Structure 1
Amino acid sequence: MAESFGRQKSEKEKAGSMTATNRLPVWFIPHGGGPCFFMDPPAKAPNAWKAMEAYLRGIPAAVGQQRPRAILIISGHWQENRPTVTAAANPPLIYDYFGFPPHTYDLRYPSPGDPELAAEVIARLKAAGIDSGEDLSRGFDHGVFIPLLLLYPDADIPVVQLSMVHPLDPARHIAIGRALAPLRDEGVLIIGSGLSFHNLQNFYGADRRVLAVAETFDAWLTKAVTNADPAARDAALAAWDQAPGARISQPYEDHLIPLMVAAGAAGADQGVRDYSDHVFGAPISGYRFG
């Protein structure tokens, strides 16, 4: 019988969706600064991106033995008036960074898209009362292809990108993630891609006073994400801008909102901080659910 969400499941997928043991985790990952992992390291901080790179490369092992059939990723670099998915069979790349070495504009990530998954995302959002749409021409921005070059460098897993929604209401994005949570039981790896600290004026050579406040926000964010009560977690994240240091760490929250989608998709799974480092003095965290 045809599924109501746009495609037929294989018997293997149906069996997998019945057991939580086959449920894939959800991540909120840092994607660095532009093509930082594919450049010569900065002379003043040669190890600045090394720990983050190692973390991203280690995620496939942390996923476990079940290989994702597809990746659904939400980047801090795409906003629309409603949730929108890339629906092309072979999306191009968008080199939306500026002033970097010429070779970084020759990076390639020829992962196929997944029009069937895109249709399923739209159908699940519709079932939750959330209007959404598709984009047949948009490609993957650097918040997608840069980290995926480290996670799955062979580019052999289909990828669909989901936009954020303007204005960036955190509760709305938690609800979007909640509607898409069942995809985890169907072999879809859901990733939020951003940065837990994104004050660009104070990133490179950050002011010590800013960094002290950023540490306070990072501690608050980790406490919120790792709360064992999912309702309390979601309530805290929905009010993130009331946290100490919030607007210093995130003057504009585009790089934090992907975390809200990840938290919504987490359901009852408790979050853990599986990455913590300081890049140019700024605290950066990554989180896993499940």
Structure 2
Amino acid sequence: MMPSYFFAHGAPSIVLEDNAYTQLLKHFKEHAPKPKAIVLFSAHWEETVQNVSAAETYETIYDFGGFQDELYQMTYPANSDRSLVEQIQKLFEQQGIQNVRNEERGLDHGAWAVLKLLYPDADIPVVALSVNRNLPNEQQYQIGKALAALREQDVLIIGSGGTVHNLRKLNWRSGGIDEWAEQFDSWLQNKLEAWDTEALFRYRELAPFAQEAVPTSEHFIPLLLAMGTGDSNRQAKLLHRSYQYGNLSLSCWQFN
């Protein structure tokens, strides 16, 4: 069964960087079977109703400003997969999850920056999925769980976001790591490895420095979505964690 993953996408410039985290992503395909298709939840696509992307060939969305010129020249012209889109919609409908097909939207940087590092040739079909910060955490998990059957069909499911993602607290000159960010991520690691969903769903009230780490939930939600796909086996493994700018976490979780 294909594992699912959570990848932090950091700043858009991550796709140009060379560090331990980007090396992990660049060499990911060497240690994992090539998927038949990729299903990706992006923190940068927010909708109040679950959207399922179905563009024939995706345009590249540059949903950021002030970064290197080279980023605005990059493209990721992946194709969708109509049969997979239909299957995803059917799986959602079976669980009572309202959804709509979106044939217009391209891939935002939460999707293409990660995919560019993982599979730079853009030769694997991609279905992007939106997130909805208005839903309770239990329901986020259930949305991921609804797609678990896809893992048996060699479909790679990815949540793209960030566990500690507070742009107002970034320290662009810092060479160290803020203790509050580490404390939040350590708490998170403990609960994920124990598959303690009761605590995870209540992270805002239970986790140390939750408000600092997760001022808004859209970047955290993809973690719960990816985790939900692993509900049958309930095994979580931290593959990498590092930080940029004092507290912006770059983490990768695998769910089996």
TM range (shorter): over 0.9
In structure 1, list runs of 5 or more residues that go unmatched.
Answer: 1-22, 42-48
**Deviation at residue 55 of structure 1 after TM alignment:** 1.6
Give SS of 1:278's match.
strand
1:30 maps to what in 2? 8
Aligned mates of 1:211, 1:255 — CA distance in 2: 19
In 2, Cα distance between the equivalents of 1:259 and 1:204?
A: 24
Does 1:241 find its partner at 2:204? yes
Task: Check if 1:259 corresponds to 2:223.
Answer: yes
Counting only pairs closer than 5 Å after superposition, residues 42-57 of structure 1 correspond to structure 2 as: 50-57=19-26
After superposition, the C-alpha distances for 1:223-275 in whole angstroms (9 at most, x for unaligned) are 11111xx4xx2222211212111110111111110001001001123101100
Cα distance in structure 2, aligned partners of 1:204 and 1:69: 40
Call closer, same or farther: CA 1:206–1:178 in 2, change over 3 Å. farther
* Conserved? CA contact 1:83–1:162, under 8 Å: yes
Is the Cα–Cα contact under 8 Å of residues 22 and 117 in structure 2 kept in the other structure? yes
Q: Say whether residues 1:198 and 2:165 are aligned partners.
A: yes
Residue deviations 1:55-80 (CA, integer Å, cap 9, x gap): 211322332xx321100001110111
Does the CA-based 8 Å contact 1:271-1:289 persist in structure 2? Answer: yes
The CA deviation string for residues 47-103 of structure 1, in whole angstroms up to 9 with x for no partner, is xx611211211322332xx32110000111011111111011112111101111222
Deviation at 1:206, TM superposition (A): 7.8
User: Residues of 1 paired with 2:35 and 2:214: CA distance?
Assistant: 31
Amino acid at match of 1:272: K
Match of 1:271 among 220, 225, 236: 236
Q: Where do 1:206-221 residues align within 5 Å? A: 211-221=178-188
Cα distance in 1 for partners of 2:226, 2:244 equals 23
Q: Which moved more, 1:216-225 or 1:235-244?
A: 235-244
- The 5 Å alignment of 1:41-120 reads 50-63=19-32, 66-120=33-87
Instruction: Decide which of 139, 145, 150 is 1:183's aligned counterpart.
Output: 150
Cα displacement (A) at 1:107 = 0.1
**Higher radius of gyration, 1 or 2:** 1
Of structures 1 and 2, the one scoring higher in RCO (CA 8 A, sep 6+) is 2
Q: Calculate the TM-score normalised by the size of structure 2.
A: 0.93
Q: CA contact under 8 A between 2:3 and 2:151: conserved in structure 1?
A: yes
SS for the counterpart of 1:133 is strand
Contact persistence 2:174–2:246 (CA under 8 A): no
Extract unaligned runs of 5+ from structure 2.
none
Distance 2:15 2:153 in 1: 31
**Which amino acid in the other structure matches residue 47 of structure 2?**
E
Distance 1:53 1:140 in 2: 20
CA 275–189 in structure 1, closer or farther in 2 if over 3 Å, else same = same
Query: SS in structure 1 opposite 2:229?
Result: helix
Residues 148-167 of structure 1: matches in 2 within 5 Å? Answer: 148-167=115-134
Aligned counterparts of 1:193 and 1:173: Cα–Cα separation in 2: 14
Instruction: Give the distance between the partners of 1:251 and 1:261, measured in 2 at CA.
Output: 19
Q: Could you tell which deviates more after superposition, 215-224 or 233-242? A: 233-242
1:127 corresponds, among 65, 76, 94, to 94
Superposed displacement of residue 137, structure 1? 0.2
Asked whether the 8 Å contact 1:234–1:263 carries over to 2, the reply is no
Secondary structure of the residue that 1:281 maps to in structure 2? coil
Aligned equivalents of 1:206 and 1:263: distance in 2? Answer: 33
Contact preservation (8 Å) 2:26, 2:117: yes
User: In 2, distance between residues paired with 1:77 and 1:91?
Assistant: 16
Partner AA of 2:20 in structure 1 = A
Quick one: distance in 2 between partners of 1:190 and 1:92? 21
Alpha-carbon deviation of 1:166?
A: 3.9
For 2:252, the aligned partner's letter is G
**SS at the partner of 2:12?**
coil
Q: How many residues of Structure 1 are paired with residues of Structure 2 in the alignment?
A: 253
Identity %: 35
Cα shift at 1:37: 2.7
